[in-house]
Amino acid sequence: MTSFSIHGVGVSSGIAIGHAHLVSNALLEVVHYQLPKHLVEDEIQRFSDAIATVKHDLEQINQDLRKNAPAELSAFIGTHLMMLADKSLSETPKAIIRKEQCNAEWAIKLQMDEIVEQFEQIEDDYLRERKQDVIQVVERVIKVLLGHSQQLSTEQLASAIHQERKQILVAHDISPADAIQFKQHEFAAFITDVGGVTSHTAILARSLNIPSIVALQKARDLINDGELIIVDGLQGMVIVNPDKSILTEYKLRQEQWELEQQKLQRIKTTKAVSLDGIAIELLANIEVPEDVAAVKASGATGIGLYRTEFLFMNRREMPDESEQYVAYKTVAEAMNGAPVVIRTLDLGADKQMNPDTVVECANPALGLRAIRYCLAEPQIFHTQLRALLRASHFGNIKILIPMLSTLAELRQTKLLLERAKASLRKENIPFNEHIALGGMIEIPAAAINAEAFAKELDFLSIGTNDLIQYTLAIDRTDDAVAHLYNPLHPSVLKLIAMTIKAGEKLGKSVSVCGEMAGETKLTKLLIGMGLRQLSMHPSHILSVKQQVLHSQLSELNKDVRKVLALTDIEKIEPLVAKFYQT
């Protein structure tokens, strides 16, 4: 058998060696046929039954989710359940069946094609990628109609674990619900033809620590079921039918990788201090209260970013003050006095709460979102601020405001915070009168004016994901320009440096809570620039800590100054790489 390699986008590191398990693409199996008129109503009933079956399957999977499962899983299933309930998918195909006298599979595929075409017209790359949700929901329905749904019983799952532990999932795409099933099967890795760094597969793979590669284009067509393959998540490469020498080499690499992960556990309780005695605070990012368990297991010293929008998304009613209060209080108490930075609602435009009230926007990333949305909806904001303040009585809570661009927004926010405090005083409800207020620096305008923001805030937090996208006008989910998304762009580094300098000048702490914080290849650069707080996914804490322990900041500071003086990425990248060669 011929050996060959396929290259894609590595979204979760690690090495997996196993046999390919191809997931069928039901959409490719759909054929069109006419029905006699007297069978049309029976076909409509068959369609309704399939919709009901998929709904039941998704609800069952959601119910069976373990409490410590990643928050994204439940959120994704909620999205699919709402799409399934939408009339455009649950009712319109019935009208097509009646009008065309066609089979149910063909009717829902026609409707799917029309919906996907509408998504294709959306300019925003993140929203456009959500068409995959529609495709995945429709594919589940078609699988039921074709008679080969992949929903498995608990007993079937248990019996399959041993055989499938070394299998690698190969698919055109993977739905969140299927991914949960595959996780229970304990597959070694995921690889898919489509998807970007923010696709469901990528997010799930990272949260579950499973090696994963997306955007392989034709992997499912080129790989045969049962073929031996190697998945190198770090290099974004799949090797099919490796020869003995390559297989031996990768088995050694796999052993070394696993050994390194085990060794990292030894430094779990070690303080993150550089060789010359500079302490670095390593904090964790979370989405829901249940994530606190992972935070504690990682050895993080606190929570640097609690994304509260997960409380609001995939539901039709706003969480009331009591529900929010309980969630925030639970986290604060669980962290036993360690800092808990809670970001106010980052909802709007591309992250709607109720899909029935989606606001169309030509450029969602530039629209009514985050603090802009909260200031436009003061009652929603007031409810959240009251809940946050009430919870602050039970722990070390700090409030973080996202997407600030003007001082006017900040001052209006502070006014609303004072009103929330006044309402609690009036009711004799205790809270931390001196709760710290911070701002996210994720818009170039805010970075350039960071000193002015620092004067009016208690701390700053740099959101590198948006800062890079807004600075370079590049969405990293867009395959056509993904190669241009580079955190080492001199303009990005200068904006980060300006923010750090503003914090130092005014004695305000500055942290990074974006993807850059968890990237070990950038750890020495960031701490060399003067950052003393990094917040990341809990799974990255130990590998970043290892870099801190091997860093000599007095030497790094000199090298970083050279990096910041450069204006060419091609010169910056090799210089940063040298930080790790000593």
State the Cα–Cα distance between residues 346 and 337, nearest whole angstrom.
25
Give which of 54, 140, 77 is closest to 105, Cα–Cα: 140
State the Cα–Cα distance between residues 109 and 116, nearest whole angstrom.
10
| 550 three-class SS | coil
Identified catalytic residue from 102, 361, 374, 513? 513
Give which of 241, 221, 245, 176 is closest to 18, Cα–Cα: 241
State the Cα–Cα distance between residues 70 and 537, nearest whole angstrom.
11
R_g of the chain computed on alpha carbons = 25
CB 306, CB 340: distance < 8 Å:
yes
State the Cα–Cα distance between residues 135 and 31, nearest whole angstrom.
17
Active site residue 540: no
Q: Calculate helix-pair angle for 40-64, 92-100, nearest 10 degrees.
A: 160
Q: Calculate helix-pair angle for 131-146, 104-120, nearest 10 degrees.
A: 170
Cα 529 versus chain centre, distance:
26
CA max distance for the chain: 83
State the Cα–Cα distance between residues 63 and 217, nearest whole angstrom.
34
State the Cα–Cα distance between residues 222 and 463, nearest whole angstrom.
39
CB 461, CB 441: distance < 8 Å:
yes
Active site residue 200: yes
- Strand arrangement of the beta sheet that strand 212-214 belongs to: 4-7, 237-240, 228-232, 15-22, 167-171, 189-192, 212-214, 9-12
The vertex-406 CA angle with 405 and 407, nearest 5°, equals: 135
State the Cα–Cα distance between residues 481 and 26, nearest whole angstrom.
31
State the Cα–Cα distance between residues 406 and 446, nearest whole angstrom.
7
| 344 three-class SS | coil
Give which of 114, 120, 117, 72 is closest to 95, Cα–Cα: 114
Q: Which two tokens stand for residue 555?
A: 């030497």
Identified catalytic residue from 80, 200, 537, 540? 200
Which contiguous run of DSSP H or E holds residue 398?
A: strand 397-401
Give which of 467, 511, 510, 512 is closest to 489, Cα–Cα: 467
CB 93, CB 224: distance < 8 Å:
no
The one-letter code for the residue type at 45 is Q
Specify burial of residue 354 (Cβ count, 10 A radius: 0-12, 13-18, 19+): middle
**Percent helix, percent strand, percent coil in the chain, to nearest 5:** 55, 15, 30
Q: Which residues are catalytic?
A: 200, 513
